[in-house]
Structure 1
Amino acid sequence: MRHFFRPVNILFVWILFGISNPIFAQEPALLRGVVLDVSNSEPLIGANVYWEDDLNSGVVTDLNGRFQIQSKELPARLVVSYVGFEKSIRNISKSEAEKEIRFFLKPLEMSLDEIIIQERRPDEQIRNLETGKATIPMQTLKNIPALFGEVDLLRSLQLLPGVQTAGEGTTGLFVRGGSADQNLVQVDGAPIFNPSHFFGFFSVFSPDALDKVDLYKGNMPASYGGRLSALIDVTLKEGNNEQIHGEGGIGSISSRLMLNGPLFSDKSTFAISARRTYADLFLKLSNNEDVRNNKLNFHDLSAKFAFRIGEKDKVSISSYEGSDFLGLDEQFGLGWRNWVSSLYWAHTISDNSFFDLELYNSRYNYKVEFEDPNAGFKWENRLSESGAKGQWTWFTSDKIQSYWGFQTQYYHFAPIQLDPAAGSAIESIQTNPKNGVLNSAFAGMTLEVNPRLSTEIGLRWGFYNQVGRGVDYFYEGDIPSDEVPIVDTLSYGAFESMNFYQGLEPRVALRYLINDEFSLKAAYNRNFQYVQIASNSSAGLPIDRWILAGEYVSPLRSDQVSLGLFRNFNENRWEFSVEGYAKDIRNVIDLKNGASVLFTDQVETEILSGDGYSYGLEFLLRKNVGKTTGWLSYTYSRTWRTIPGISLGQKYNPRYDRPHDVSLVLNHEFSNAWSAGLTFVYTTGQAVSFPIGTYEVDNQVLPLYSEFRNKDRFPDYHRMDASVTWKNPDKGRKWRGSWNFSIYNLYGRKNPFAYEFREVLNGKINYDPDVDGPVVSREQSVVMTYLFTFLPSITYNFQF
């Protein structure tokens, strides 16, 4: 049994205080309401609400568009405003104040000189408490030039400071020195194990189906946990309750369609989205029979149904399913599938208190088949996580907000099963299952100490049990290794406790408002993570081995401190920020040299654990209003690991350590019909290990590597993309269409995807002695593989 902390009294007293406070405190008189978009009845998040004769009384709407504001002598005039919408001013009477008031705002017809790319209040980055939080509005996302014309959420997030990629064409995110598995990617509260298609070239998120996306790199709220580095919180779009709407697109490699509207009445809505690639259809047009018999496709399906049950309750049901399949001439097949579902219930307890409940299930499975008379096999595996989360929120006033709740998560990693085909020489393999239960309690409070100083404090306490069924192996000398014998095994029944860990996660954030356009923020976060990936691929593969904390693998722990300066200029048209961070990581794992983890039941013999740290500076200059909008970001960061047994125990860089990272994103509106986008990225090459020599075994020349890991680097990476969009300028039509022309890698840079060290015959990479003649020269050479140079694409988008 392992114990990290024992501060029982601290958490219980805090939770007791949060529960008892509403009972003993005198509730102030509050006016409550909700702000909605008149065109689709969707809530407007971050709308400003204030009394006309008291500008300092303002509050903003929450995630459901709701607000609570201190009441006053009525009647009085209440003002509601939101960027890009007409202002609403209503005279509030005493009778209206007794119930929830609804405001429906009408979108503005924006002029060419006032294009707003924000879906938030203009001074939000100055006044909020978040450091390391980033948002890309959906409209901006759709204007960024994209690979194959496929607008991609995760690839767009790579353009923000502090977020790096594994390499060309991949969607894996490495946030502030953390690996990709240290990110919690969730859709409507349900986590996704593998958020990518085509081995990481595209993400699973169709942009038409998304309502908003929040990226947390710094002070993650205490209501979230289970990952160290980042939270990518994706919310699916709800349908409108007025009439059927649709949008979609036909692109170079896939097409998509989204429909939404009322379901049974104006109190229920639906939104359904679908996307499918047709790359496999193009393969059938090939004259090469080997190519024609290949299969290559992916699809996405998502749906969200929302129901308003009276004035106090709202229920929504969300589901996403997506899969990939790659088949090579009916001999080899690889497929993987995500399926997540969630149920959300929002209940208004009183004028100033709310309860939210989430239930979810996430499944991920993959299958590999190889047809061969001598070595054929079928290999499949399944991972799942199910959970429940409840949260109470209480608005004491417009200056104090507190919340508390619980979360239960159950992990089930099914046995890895490899079944050989009839007559195959391969032996059958089956591992034991891995299961874990994580129960967490959390509480937090946001307090405006005075008009300049605000703070948020939070605690999260996790209790983790590895449970049966399962098996623990015990080794000679109590050190797991493939070089020492197993001296004993211990089997556990279903849900029998195997190993226990606990961890307390304090969170604190401060914001000091120097003036209306300048603020200073600081934050500290501790996080624990009880599941991680053991992989020798930094880009992430669909068959990566997930590992739960257990007898030999301790939970990951990180402590991060961040400090930021935030400055707005020219009436909030320009934003500038600089953030610094330092992060310490404990119990991080990495593979031994030559390790193989895919099929072994003793995975602890193939990995080693140690510590790591990272630090960095992030600069962001962003323009939000005008004909030209966009941002310029620069990140300087370093990431190190120190693991006994790797690199002779000396510190080394993981592959995703890239000290310099520059991103430029520009969008320009030429007219109501024409617009253009441009992106430029530059990063230091990723860290790798190149051979230092060769040696010969059985007449084969093999590369020899140094004991020191990742001492070399790929060449620096840079690329420019461009796009032009034409929209039908005609107004009043129900069908609205647009054409997007984009070019990926505008100047044809040959960025390396991989290097291969092999023997080259007669100075030619693909020399075949059986076809091209006798071999007259042999040399050991470095062969670089690159994926794309100049890549144009065209997409037709529509709305109705």
Structure 2
Amino acid sequence: MFTYEQKSFLVYLFFFFTYLLLVNQASGQQTTPVRGQVVDKASGEPLPGATVSWEGQAQQGTITDENGNFILPMRETSGTLLIRFLGYQSITRDLSEKNKIEALVFYLSPEEWTLEEVVVSERKSDDNVASTEMGKNIISGQELKRIPALFGEVDLLRGIQLLPGVTTAGEGSTGLFVRGGSADQNLIQIDGAPIYNPSHFFGFFSVFNPDALSDVALYKGTIPAEFGGRVSSLVDISLEEGNTSKIKGEGGIGSISSRLTVDGPLFSDNSSFIISGRRTYADLFLTFSPNEDIRDNQLYFYDLSGKFMWRDGQQNKFTLSSYYGSDFLGLRGQFGLGWKNWVNSFTWDRRINDRNYLDVSAYYSRYQYLISFSDEENGFDWSNHFAESGMKTTWTYIPKENSELKAGMHGQLYHFAPVDLQGSLESGIEPLDSHPRTGLQFNLFLSGKTEVSDRVSLEAGLRWGNYQQIGNGVNYLYDNDDPQGSEQVIDTLEYRLGERMQAYQGWEPRFSARYRIASGTSLKAGFNRNYQYIQVASNSSAGLPIDRWVPAGRYILPIRGDQVSAGLFQNLMDDQWEVSLEGYYRDFRNIVDLKQGANVLFTDNIETEILTGNGWSYGMEFLLRKSSGNTTGWLSYTWSRVFRKIQGINQGLPYPPRFDRPHDLSLVVSHQLNERLSFSGTFIYTTGIAVTLPVGSYEVDSQRVPLYSEQRNGDRFPDYHRLDLSVTLKNKDKGRWWQGSWNFSVYNVYGRKNPFSYEFTTIYNNDIGFEPGPNEEASSARPGAVMTYLFSVLPSVTYNFKF
């Protein structure tokens, strides 16, 4: 049965839809509009972002959606359509009253002199000013490939880290910390399916092959109501669709890995495929080492992705996407650590009529990881996995131009498997008696946007989520129902399969408004609330492959995040330059942190190892961006602060988490010198990460041990800065079936030694590498700090090709 709140929400939906339909009927504008699709003449691929207007009325036109479709109000008399797209030859089409009611397809041919420089974008040139969206950034696959790369590996998440409002935990990490949120508070999804560990190589690289990506959108401000489940940000990634005309391919051979992508028509010009693979070969070189200790090690990652598309006329489009990735580190057969991602999604897009669209999607995402330690006395195998399945339906209604209504539902099932811990035969380690955890979540959402006037535009949304932890499973009982006060279990409640163990619900309103001051300037403001029902219990802010995800339950409450933001947006020089200044304040409730010395891997009583509290963050973000011309790039600067307040940590006083970095500056520049030669560079400067350094030391059994105060993260590493440069040289291959290019990159050009970690130890003979032994006596000894850094100057070369 529905609760009172659920019934109220359904009644609200019914009256809202009825109102919109009545208003639409009364408007007297039920004339049939002109509808059609704009596609690439050579490949048959749709062109999102193309401009369609009546000749002589360019300012009153429209743009094509992600499938190349458009709807344009009909003129009373016959007229001429003008279709334009950057890098393509513009065309005109005379329409009569008869063919205005037909579905039309317009084929655009690329301009020969820009054939290799075409960038398909879903955004209008003035979208930064005209839309109600705040805190949204889009990076295309072409932009990513121009950014200098570590080891020659172009990386999606490393590119996002260069945007304002996004920080990292330090060198060698792809973890994202957006506007004060931790890494697990970002919803990262591939074609609508979430991915739980988006990194390879312990965070040095992301799992996304750049050749297989269409574009990526980062939402850190007003997240649309159709998305939920995380309180910090949304990273929406779209895989590329294959072309429908002929078989094509591209790839690269880099310093540590190679990649290959092939796409083309599947059965006809109504279907296509794209398959992409990548693998490192660092482990292959290890086998040639004369050192047996090195030769027996294993270190590799690989991934494989594919997407299949089929169109049934102009009304139905079906896509199936899949991704699989694996990492493994093995040391001399004694220690092993591995993790795997498997993500699948299916979507059905249907155009019901000129004003109504239906999108249906289903997905399955699974993540598993293991630790293996070979030792007769202390050996063990520890493994775990969890999965999320979901189905989502979205209905889109366009009552008139510049207005849109969306409504839908989203169901999710989380399953966290019990920990599998097996000790070796003689180790004496007992198997861990743990239980599964299952969460069921149901969401309804409704959103709408409209142009109130030439100056004012509004967008509002409402999302309602109902979450239940269900059996089979157990709830442990403690004295005074407080697992932090007493860790002793006094009783256990067992639940059957599907039986409700705990339930939460929450309303998530979203609102944003835009006021256009002038044609190229606007003010925006917004509010966003999100609930998160699963989170990570970890003492590593950077994110590790073995992080323990836990669902909300009897003792762990869902996180609630509220954000208010406002900004000034301006475009200059015919929309070639974008300038924005945004400010925000974000409030977090019910976030968790670990007790000192907590153990979350080898226990089923996770609630006894964590503490719960609140947090807040605030900041200002500046962005100057140029997206057209021979020279492109952006300059971003962020000033921000992040704090947590949790009883039992830092004496109950506010403290900054590790990723609190008040100053963050990034400069990205790319310049096309001529048809064959291009340059790019990035410069990064950030405040050092917050850490807890020892205040003294003491001796135990003739060993000096650091002494730490109760204050958490009261110190900082030195400031971080780095310059990267790259040059791309295309071969003279015009007109050939094979096109190649060389990329030369230098990471950390001036050799800055940015600290990765500090070890506090005893230094003998003023030499950090000296170890006293029977034949080598120490003449002096003193306590000291030894800094470890990962990279100095690091050159790399990559050969890229297309065919």
User: TM bucket by the smaller chain?
Assistant: over 0.9
Q: 135-144 vs 700-709, which deviates more?
A: 700-709
The aligned residue for residue 545 of structure 1 is: 548
2:267 pairs with one of 259, 264, 278: 264
Does residue 564 of the first structure (1) align with residue 563 of the second (2)? no
1:475 aligns with 2:478: yes
1:431 aligns with 2:430: no
Secondary structure of 1:149 counterpart: coil
Match of 1:792 in 2: 795
How far 1:20 moved relative to its partner?
7.0
Aligned 8 A contact 2:48 2:121 in 1 = no
Matched letter for residue 13 of structure 2: W
Q: Tell me the distance in 1 between the aligned counterparts of 2:597 and 2:37.
A: 59
CA offsets 1:87-145 (integer angstroms, 9 cap, x no match):
22211223322232112222234569999796632212111221000011221110100
* Cα distance change on mapping 1:327 and 1:762 into 2, 3 Å: same
Q: After alignment, is 460-469 or 694-703 more displaced?
A: 694-703
Q: Given residue 778 of structure 1, which amino acid in structure 2 is its aligned partner?
A: A
Tell me how far 1:230 sits from its aligned partner: 0.7
Out of 57, 60, 63, which is 2:63 matched to?
Answer: 60
Q: Is the 8 A contact 1:275 1:300 kept in 2?
A: yes
Q: Which has the higher contact order (CA 8 A, sep 6+)?
A: 1
Deviations 1:418-447 (A, max 9, x none): 100111132221311111011000011111
Amino acid at match of 1:419: Q
1:211-230 alignment, distance < 5 Å? 211-230=214-233
Counterpart Cα distance in 1 of 2:613 and 2:7 = 29
CA apart distance, 1:539: 1.0
**Aligned letter for 2:101?**
E
- What's the RMSD between the two structures over aligned residues? 2.0
TM-score under structure 2 normalisation? 0.97
Displacement of 1:261 = 0.3
Q: After TM superposition, give the deviation of residue 553 of structure 1 in Å.
A: 0.8
Q: How far did residue 45 of structure 1 move?
A: 2.1
Is residue 378 of structure 1 aligned with residue 368 of structure 2? no
Over residues 675-715 of structure 1, what are the superposed CA-to-partner deviations in whole Å (9 max), with x where a residue is unaligned?
Answer: 11110000000000011122334444322211111000000
Read off the aligned partner of 2:609 and give its amino acid letter.
E
Aligned AA for 1:222?
A
The count of residues paired between Structure 1 and Structure 2 equals 798
Between 1:196-205 and 1:74-83, the stretch displaced more is 74-83
Seen in structure 2, the aligned counterparts of structure 1 residues 139 and 119 have a Cα distance that, compared at 3 Å, is farther
CA contact (8 A) 1:82 1:121 kept: no
The more displaced of 753-762 and 650-659 is: 753-762
Structure 1 equivalent of residue 137 of structure 2:
134
Deviation at 1:79, TM superposition (A): 1.6
Aligned partner of 1:273 in structure 2 is 276
State the partner residue of 1:692: 695
Residue 371 of structure 1 aligns with an amino acid whose one-letter code is S
Residue aligning to 1:9: 8
Give a deviation string over 1:53-86, Cα, whole Å, max 9, x none. Answer: 3234212222222211111224211122222222
Stretches of structure 2 that go unaligned for 5 or more consecutive residues are none
- Corresponding residue SS for 1:443: strand
- Alignment match, 1:282: 285
Structure 1 residues 4 and 551: alpha-carbon distance in aligned structure 2, compared to 1, 3 A threshold = farther
The answer (yes or no) to whether the contact 1:144–1:156 under 8 Å persists in 2 is: yes
- Aligned counterpart, 1:18: 17
Aligned partners of 1:579 and 1:98: how far apart in 2?
A: 44
Deviation at 1:472, TM superposition (A): 0.8
Distance in 2 separating the partners of 1:575 and 1:112: 25
CA gap 1:431/1:384 in 2 versus in 1, 3 angstroms: same
Counterpart-to-counterpart distance in 1, 2:461 and 2:666? 33
User: Aligned AA for 1:754?
Assistant: S
CA contact (8 A) 2:478 2:486 kept: no
| Matched residue SS, 2:285 | helix
Q: CA deviation at 1:479?
A: 1.2
Q: Shift of residue 44 of structure 1?
A: 2.1
Give the structure 2 partner of residue 581 of structure 1.
584
Q: Is the 8 A contact 1:114 1:625 kept in 2?
A: no
Residue 760 of structure 2 aligns with which residue? 757
Tell me the residue number matched to 1:535: 538
Q: Compute the displacement of 1:28 (Å).
A: 3.9
27-36 or 346-355: bigger deviation: 27-36
Q: 1:709/1:665 Cα in 2 relative to 1: closer, same or farther (>3 Å)?
A: same
Q: 1:72 to 1:653 in 2, by over 3 A?
A: same
Counterpart check, 1:639 vs 2:642: yes
SS at match of 1:14: helix
Q: Which residue of 1 aligns with 2:168?
A: 165
Q: Deviations over 1:378-398 (max 9, x none)?
A: 111001000000000011111
Q: Give the deviation of 1:627 after TM superposition.
A: 2.4
How far apart, CA to CA, are the structure 2 residues paired with 1:212 and 1:117?
9
Residue in structure 2 matched with residue 488 of structure 1 by the alignment: 491
Give 1:731's match in structure 2, choosing from 729, 734, 744. Answer: 734
1:23/1:39 CA distance change after superposition, 3 Å? farther
Answer whether contact 1:83 1:122 (CA < 8 A) is retained: no
CA contact (8 A) 1:28 1:397 kept: no
Residues 100-109 or 596-605, more deviating: 100-109
2:391 is equivalent to residue 388 of structure 1: yes
Query: Does residue 458 of structure 2 align to residue 455 of structure 1?
Result: yes
The question of whether the paired residues in 1 share the 8 Å contact of 2:484 and 2:611 is answered with: no
Decide which of 337, 341, 359 is 2:340's aligned counterpart.
Answer: 337
- Between 1:753-762 and 1:200-209, the stretch displaced more is 753-762
How many percent of aligned residue pairs carry the same amino acid? 54
Decide whether aligned partners of structure 1 residues 596 and 44 sit closer, same or farther in structure 2, where only a CA change above 3 A counts: same
Question: Equivalent residue of 2:294, what SS?
Answer: helix
Q: 2:255 aligns with which of 219, 231, 252?
A: 252
Q: Equivalent residue of 2:801, what SS?
A: strand
Letter in 1 for 2:624: L
